[in-house]
Amino acid sequence: METNQGSGKIPWDDLKYLFGEIMYGGHIVDDWDRRFCATYLDVLMNDALLDEAEMFPFVEGKAISFKAPTPLTHEKYIEYIVTELPPETPIGYGMHPNAEIDFRTKQCDNLFDVLVDLQPRGGGAGGAESENTKVKDYFDLINNVIGLDSLKINMDDLNNKLSDENNPLRPYQDAFK
């Protein structure tokens, strides 16, 4: 196998430092996460990567595989990414499949907590109207403190630019007049 025909050898240590410490490493604040990242780079970034290496190193004996592509043109890499990448799975990271169930359950819990927080309070049919009144009163308070009148947007000009019936801002345009 020939690697990097221009200079002879691929500088894996330099690439690992570039990815693990410079590009991504600045976002890692936990020492254990830093060790995990370094270990992952040690496992993945070597000459086997150019030989269709298994990118999910923990899937031996399982029905999932993610091989590194052979050297391709830029367009073929894009095509590979769009058509050939396997779905993300906890198995690929060495975790039990139930890890995704737990993650999705927490996502749903968070989503429903946000939805409950967004529901109008106040009871009765006028509950939504009282919420709108509260929002307008709060906006007026902020407007008086900051003085947003000097930053008024020319809504007529904006409305003329947003003439499409399917415009997502259409229901709100009258509220800003």
pLDDT digits (tens, 9 = 90+) for 31-62: 888 888 888 888 888 887 777 777 776 677 67
Rounded CA-CA distance 125/134 in Å is 16
Residue holding tokens 């907590």?
113
Contacts of 110 (CB under 8 A, 6+ apart): none
Rounded CA-CA distance 152/131 in Å is 24
- Is the CB of residue 60 less than 8 Å from the CB of residue 94? no
Rounded CA-CA distance 115/110 in Å is 9
Q: Residue 125 has what pLDDT?
A: 55
Arithmetic mean of pLDDT, 20-38: 84
Q: What is the dihedral of CA 104, 107, 109, 110, to 10 degrees?
A: 180
The pair of structure tokens assigned to 107 is 């996502």
Question: Could you tell me the pTM of the whole model?
Answer: 0.38
Rounded CA-CA distance 61/140 in Å is 64
- Is the CB of residue 66 less than 8 Å from the CB of residue 101? no
pLDDT digits (tens, 9 = 90+) for 60-88: 767 777 888 888 889 998 898 888 888 78
Please compute, for residue 98, the number of CA atoms within 13 A of its CA located in the half-sphere on the CB side.
0
Nearest to 94 by CA among 59, 43, 42: 59
Query: Does residue 115 have a pLDDT over 80?
Result: yes
Residues in the chain: 177
